[in-house]
Amino acid sequence: MTEVILHKPFARLRFTRGARIWTVAIVLALSAVFIPAVWAQKEVTSKTYRSREREKSTGRYEQYEAKPRLYQPHIRDPRPRAELITLAPTAEKVRFRKYLADSHVGLRFYERRTCVSCHPQQARSLHAVRAKITCRQCHGDEPIAGNSHYNSLMHKRRKYAFVCAKCHKGSSPSFATYRIHEPSPLSLTTQKTFPVLFYAFWFMVVLAVGTFAAFIPHTLSWGLREFLPPTFRLEIRRYLPGKKKNNAAD
């Protein structure tokens, strides 16, 4: 039997032919398991590979949404703290999610949904419509933490540095208070959530409507008047009470 003698410090190790065959066989078997999986990443595009190798290097984010997570993330105590947030009965489910490390935990059929399917209004922001920014570029990869979670990049204490500054260099905490997903100024609920926007909007609308309410009838009637003869007079007196007799006498 041929033996392979290794140099120091492995001189005492001796591999028989059978051991070599088994070693090669095991390596090939492992390769059969792992190598195709590595190759397949280009096809399957796990979120980690996609994010690290493509999006962060090229700056070109893809249109589709984040894949759901493969593991259960650390979850902060989901029970709301009375001293931190005041819960309304109807808003409880929504509000406490703002404080979770994974704000979408427990949602049914989450892996088959997109951001826009549950948040259609948020997709109409100027960032999405004009700059074509996808949800994930700001809210990050899965698991998406609630905006008020202490580790979230979207937390108001660090959003300006970790999120806004990616495009708006030099942004400040004040800058981060800009409402990207601003409420509709037409909505009555905005009166409570963003009163300055609500009242400024309606002041301007009343100003515009008032201007047109005065000038459009004025302009149209003026245009029509110029088609009438210059001597045109509306004889109102003829229709006034007490004047009919005189007119009849005429």
Residues that bind other proteins (CB under 8 A): 124, 129-130, 168-172, 174-179, 182, 185, 194, 196-197, 200-201, 204-205, 207-208, 211-212, 215-216, 218-219, 221-223, 225-228, 230, 232-234, 236
Peptide bond into 173 cis (omega under 30): no
Residue 192 CB, nearest approach to other proteins (Å): 15
Residues 6 or more apart in contact with residue 52 via CB below 8 angstroms: none
Question: Are 100 and 146 in contact, with CB atoms under 8 Å apart?
Answer: yes
Question: What are residue 21's phi and psi, to 5 degrees?
Answer: -60, -45
Could you tell me which of 180, 182, 142, 183 has the C-alpha nearest to residue 164? 180
Residue 69 CB, nearest approach to other proteins (Å): 31
Residue number, 75 or 216, with CB nearest to other proteins: 216
Residue 207 CB, nearest approach to other proteins (Å): 7
Residue number, 230 or 242, with CB nearest to other proteins: 230
Residues 6 or more apart in contact with residue 56 via CB below 8 angstroms: none
Could you tell me which of 167, 195, 164 has the C-alpha nearest to residue 180? 164
Q: Six-digit token pair at 39? A: 């190759």
Residue number, 25 or 200, with CB nearest to other proteins: 200
Q: Return the number of other C-beta atoms located less than 10 Å from residue 146's C-beta.
A: 23
Residue 86 CB, nearest approach to other proteins (Å): 22
Residue 24 CB, nearest approach to other proteins (Å): 58
CA torsion 51-54-58-63 (nearest 10°) is -70
Residue number, 64 or 178, with CB nearest to other proteins: 178
Residue number, 15 or 202, with CB nearest to other proteins: 202
Residue 172 CB, nearest approach to other proteins (Å): 6
Residue number, 17 or 157, with CB nearest to other proteins: 157
